[in-house]
Amino acid sequence: MTTLARPAIRAFFALLACALLLSCHADAPQATAGPALSPTLTAGHADLAGGRTGAVTKSAQLWTELPRSALPHDFPIRTNTFRDLARRANPAVVTILSTQATLERAISDPFGILPFGIPLPRIGTSLGSGFIIHSDGYILTAEHVVAGSRKIRIITMADSYGKSTEYRAKILGRSKEGGIALLKIEPALELSVLPLGDSGKVEIGDLVLAVGNPYGLSHTVTSGIVSFIGRELPKRGRGKSKLRFIQIDAPINPGNSGGPLLNLAGEVIGINTAVAAGAEGIGFAVPIDAAKEALPGLLRKR
């Protein structure tokens, strides 16, 4: 073998070895993401993932969402579907007790001694629902549940021993146009949360679950379908609300306001807010996309 042929042979075998290595790498099985349905942090959540450090910035996104790839287009309905949804959702649903003081009553002056009646403060407590959107104690509810409140108490779901926890809450912000309010409590432990969905993908006929505290009956779960999308309602005073509500036939009653409306994936697609007076099976929910638009502004107002 000549001296010139040896380098050529070595180069040939080197190229052959590289080709074999590349072939083995191409045939190796690749890791794939499984269809896990647990909530994952979306863009904007990086500064929230550090746990209970209080590092929620004013520009951060408060809520979690399920990965789109984990939600099948044809969701199977089984006998335990609603049961599992209720079991996952209930720990994140809270009772809201708010105290208001008004001057609605007055003492009349039958003897004409005083030029005006004397107003008396009237103290009342209203009942509503809400749900936790961040484990550090951020709670979403309907705006009218806490409007005019001087004191707000939050009661969580009772544990396996029948013991619930009560917190004092403060209002971080309210949006009358968005129909929502953002509350904050200071929990000692990390709380369960509900992921927020996409109300823009809701269609008439979709199955839904409503969770709340009607008449103080905590964590009541009802089911129904979406009856209409984009319903206009009159607002307090004159004119119509700019909001376009999701109409549902799931039974909701006083005390349900502020509770979550869920799809079959366990995502919040609306906030239960009103019922048609004197009617049955006509309820309304604020689309969750409207809440998402309003939340960053409420967070910046802290």
Render each residue's pLDDT in the chain as its tens digit; 302 residues: 555 455 555 555 555 555 544 444 444 333 333 333 334 333 333 333 333 434 455 545 778 888 765 555 666 788 888 999 999 999 999 999 998 766 554 544 444 444 444 555 566 778 999 999 999 999 999 999 998 888 999 999 988 777 889 999 999 999 988 899 999 999 988 899 999 999 999 999 999 999 999 999 999 999 999 999 999 887 665 556 678 999 999 999 989 999 999 999 999 999 999 888 777 889 999 999 999 999 988 887 66
Length of the chain in residues, anyone? Answer: 302
Report field, pTM of the whole predicted structure over 0.95: no
* pLDDT at site 77: 80
In DSSP terms, 207 is beta-bridged to 225
Q: What is the pLDDT of residue 241?
A: 67
- The partner residues of 124 in beta bridges, in order of sequence, read 100
| Strand-pair partners of 169 | 152
Distance CA 253, CA 82 (A): 20
Q: Sign (positive/negative) of CA torsion 25, 27, 28, 32?
A: positive
Given this model, what pLDDT does residue 173 score?
Answer: 93
What pLDDT, on the 0 to 100 scale, is given for residue 104? Answer: 56
CATH among 1.10.10.10, 3.40.50.300, 2.40.10.120, 3.60.150.10 for 75-103+118-300: 2.40.10.120
Do the Cβ atoms of 294 and 175 come closer than 8 Å?
yes
- Residue 32 pLDDT: 33
Tokens coding 250: 């799931």
Q: Is 83 helix (H, G, I), strand (E, B) or coil?
A: helix
182 CB contacts (<8 Å, ≥6 apart)? 62, 138, 139, 140, 171, 172, 173, 174, 295, 298, 299
Chain centroid to CA 46: 19
